[in-house]
Copies of this chain bind each other. A is one copy, B any other.
Amino acid sequence: MEDRLSRVFAALADPIRRDMVARLASGDATVNELAEPYPVTVQAVSKHLKVLEEAGLVTRGKQAQRRPVHLEAEVFDLMTKWIERYRRQAEERYQRLDEVLLELGQPRTEGGAP
């Protein structure tokens, strides 16, 4: 895994990191503040932040010995663009199929998986 998109998806594949992003969405926080709710050491949280940082999802500031973490929301665009592109494509295809079946007078497709 080396490309940007892979790093972003991988970063958000962990519940703790996703939760941290959720909290950062409502304001910056220090490492200790972020670590507090989780049953892991602060070192582990520090590692998680590194992953988020390398994915470009957060940046870290400097405030005395504190390192306030800040969410960079722009990176989300990368993902949504990727997702939307293929979803739209897939949905269009699906719709075309429906139209074809309709033209043939067949009972329309019933959503694949329940």
Closest-by-CB residue of B relative to A56 is: B113
Using an 8 Å CB-CB cutoff, how does the interface string of A30-73 with B read, 1 for contact, 0 for none?
Answer: 00000000000000000000000000100100000000001111
For chain A residues 69-114, which have a beta carbon within 8 Å of chain B?
Answer: 70-73, 76, 79-80, 82-84, 86-87, 89-91, 93-94, 112-113
Of B6, B93, B94, B113, which contacts A59 at CB under 8 A? B113
Q: A10-B9, A13-B1, A70-B112 in contact; A25/B84 too (CB < 8 A)?
A: no
Q: List 27 A-B contacts (CB under 8 A).
A: A1-B13, A1-B14, A1-B15, A3-B15, A7-B13, A9-B10, A9-B12, A9-B13, A25-B87, A25-B89, A26-B89, A26-B93, A59-B113, A70-B112, A71-B86, A71-B90, A73-B86, A73-B87, A73-B90, A73-B91, A73-B94, A76-B84, A76-B87, A79-B79, A79-B83, A80-B83, A80-B84
